[in-house]
Amino acid sequence: MIISRFLRRGISTASTCATRRSWWDHVTPAPKDPIIAVTEAFLADPFPYKINLGVGAYRDDEGKPVVLQCVREAEGKIAASNFLESTSTAVSSKFVEESAKLIYGQDSNVIKERRFAGIPALSGTGACRLFAEFQKRFYPESRIYLPDPTWSNHRNIWRDVHVPDRTFRYYHPDSKSLNFVALMDDIKNAQMVLSSLLHPCAHNPTGVDPTNEQWREISSLFKAKNHFPFFDVAYQGFASGDVERDARAIRIFLEDGHSIGCAQSFAKNMGLYGHRVGCLSVLCNDKIQAMAIKGQLQQISNTMYGSPPIHGISLASKILSDPDIKAIWLKEVKVMATRIHRMRAILREALERLGSPLNWQHITNQVGMFCFSGLNRAEVYLLAKEFHIYMTPDGRISMAGVTTKNVDYLANSIHEVTTCDQDAKILHNTDAYRINTDIRFTSLGASKSRARGMNLSL
């Protein structure tokens, strides 16, 4: 009897363990984010002079992350603060107000009349996700229209809240410029009520922005089609070096009387990447509507993460609200943008000096953090495999990773992979790379035809 009881218990335990082991057997590995995959490959490479051109965060001319002076000043100001629950609401409200002033204008009627609903978010990604949840809740049948191409995570964000996405043409790969006619045609022919995502400046990944006149035409068409414009502002200041100028697209839509949604990130332009500082705002008809929408946004955020950490918000709020510290920040934004502009010019000049048969004018025509190089997947593969230079498979180069010490090596490497014959064997000796940019390259052989047809995959 006792033996029988233990046997039954053993069978039951074994059955339970088997059940437990099978709970997650159906889970398969998630596809890797392309940017994370680039970083992982870079970190796994032991070559001492490897180059990471994948990360969309600022680096100085030594290739190092930077703690801005404005952040140090703000840190000193808030060091004595008590980061208590009782103070978090006031800090968050101040941060949202200063963020709204930055993007809509200090003297905007939207600010004066309190016609915006805003809450802190976990950087720009969190702000986009909050808006996607809000869109699904109040326009469950709507879609999101995304530019083609756009940041790789945009589609994931709206897909995960079950908002269908469509794309509108944005970039012309042959001219490496804005495909404005196709963009307008796609928006004009879009069906049903929808939201369209726009990059107001420093488009990711292309670095191609509409002109002010083109923005006016886009705004007019949005108005005629009753489309809701949602702006993802991840790089304010990096396009021109002037945060006011980089907000011009949004101001044009504001002048035309649009309702607007806006996701702001301070990860890049304040160097607060690890703090996840962002803001979501939605423009409203009046103060009463703003209060209602803010309450709904807070309810959504409460079910996701409650509230974001207060330290980063306090830093950003102090930088934006303290005139002296803000002045330091605006100068530092200009310095960062200027360095990136300079590296664009040097890279283009280096490629042209090598006698490249290709047109590299787009390097300096594009703006912001990224250069959409035009390199194909095969060439990107070769850059990583033979030259230890890492970027996303679409050829996007983070110009912040280009420095005066590595730009000649980068230019020579790009020149080699874009002019080699598809059957040529790369004989480059990586030991020839010296950090003082006295770089020697061995020949790829006599053939200099482009490797556009290589059957290589990442």
HEC letters along 279-299: EEEEECCCHHHHHHHHHHHHH
Q: Sorting pLDDT into bands at 50, 70 and 90, what band is 79?
A: confident
Average confidence (pLDDT) over 315-330: 97
281 and 139 belong to one structural domain:
yes
* Closest to 205 measured CA to CA, from 397, 333, 32, 436: 397
Q: Specify if 458 maps to a domain.
A: no
Q: Is 112 exposed, middle or buried (0-12, 13-18, 19+ CB in 10 A)?
A: exposed
49 and 109 belong to one structural domain:
no
- For the chain, give the percent of residues with pLDDT over 70: 85
Of 274, 291, 321, which one is at a domain's C-terminal end?
321
Q: Specify if 135 maps to a domain.
A: yes
State how far the Cα of 49 lies from the Cα of 389, in Å rounded to an integer: 9
In the predicted model, is pLDDT for residue 10 greater than 60? no
Q: Sorting pLDDT into bands at 50, 70 and 90, what band is 421?
A: very low
Q: Sorting pLDDT into bands at 50, 70 and 90, what band is 192?
A: confident
Q: Sorting pLDDT into bands at 50, 70 and 90, what band is 9?
A: low
369 and 408 belong to one structural domain:
yes
Q: Specify if 284 maps to a domain.
A: yes
- Residue whose entry in the numeric block shows the structure tokens 């990059």: 199
Amino acid at 123: S
State how far the Cα of 56 lies from the Cα of 398, in Å rounded to an integer: 6
Average confidence (pLDDT) over 280-308: 94
Q: What is the pLDDT of residues 36-77, one digit of tens each?
A: 889 999 999 999 999 999 988 899 999 999 999 999 999 999
294 and 401 belong to one structural domain:
no
What does the pLDDT read at residue 361? 97
State how far the Cα of 250 lies from the Cα of 255, in Å rounded to an integer: 9
Tell me if residue 372 falls in helix, strand or coil: strand
What does the pLDDT read at residue 17? 54
Of 321, 351, 367, which one is at a domain's C-terminal end?
321
Q: Sorting pLDDT into bands at 50, 70 and 90, what band is 294?
A: very high
Taking the chain, what is the end-to-end CA distance rounded to the nearest angstrom?
Answer: 64
Q: What angle do CA 321, 322, 325 make, to 5 degrees?
A: 120
42 and 94 belong to one structural domain:
no
Strands (E), 16-139: 51-52, 116-122
Average confidence (pLDDT) over 396-401: 96
State how far the Cα of 295 lies from the Cα of 374, in Å rounded to an integer: 45
Average confidence (pLDDT) over 382-390: 96
Q: Sorting pLDDT into bands at 50, 70 and 90, what band is 8?
A: low
Q: What angle do CA 293, 108, 215 make, to 5 degrees?
A: 90
* Total domains, the chain: 2
Tell me if residue 49 falls in helix, strand or coil: coil
Q: What is the pLDDT of residues 136-170, one digit of tens each?
A: 999 999 999 999 999 999 999 999 999 999 999 99
268 and 143 belong to one structural domain:
yes
In the predicted model, is pLDDT for residue 194 greater than 90? no
Q: What is the pLDDT of residues 335-347, one digit of tens each?
A: 999 999 999 999 9
The interaxial angle of helices 212-225 and 180-189, nearest 10 deg, is: 10
Strand pairing report for 51-52 and 389-390: parallel
87 and 124 belong to one structural domain:
yes
What does the pLDDT read at residue 272? 94
Q: What is the pLDDT of residues 83-109, one digit of tens each?
A: 655 457 888 899 999 999 999 999 999
Q: Specify if 333 maps to a domain.
A: no
What does the pLDDT read at residue 420? 75
270 and 189 belong to one structural domain:
yes
In the predicted model, is pLDDT for residue 386 greater than 80? yes
Of 277, 292, 321, which one is at a domain's C-terminal end?
321
Q: Specify if 123 maps to a domain.
A: yes
Amino acid at 452: R
In the predicted model, is pLDDT for residue 457 greater than 70? no
State how far the Cα of 109 lies from the Cα of 100, in Å rounded to an integer: 11
What does the pLDDT read at residue 11? 53
Domain harbouring 100, CATH code: 3.40.640.10
What does the pLDDT read at residue 83? 62
- 142, 161 in Cβ contact below 8 A? no
Q: Tell me the sheet residues that pair with 108.
A: none
126 and 42 belong to one structural domain:
no
Q: What DSSP string describes 286-342?
A: SHHHHHHHHHHHHHHHHHHTSS--HHHHHHHHHHHH-HHHHHHHHHHHHHHHHHHHH
Strand pairing report for 171-172 and 165-169: unpaired
Helical (H) or strand (E) element with 70: helix 69-78
Backbone φ, ψ for residue 118 (5° rounding): -140, 150
Average confidence (pLDDT) over 245-263: 97
132 and 268 belong to one structural domain:
yes
In terms of residue numbers, what domain contains 345? Answer: 34-56+338-430
User: How large is the C-alpha radius of gyration of the chain?
Assistant: 25
In the predicted model, is pLDDT for residue 455 greater than 60? no
- 383, 391 in Cβ contact below 8 A? yes
**Residues with catalytic roles:** 151, 232, 268
Q: What angle do CA 447, 49, 204 make, to 5 degrees?
A: 80
258 and 369 belong to one structural domain:
no
175 and 297 belong to one structural domain:
yes
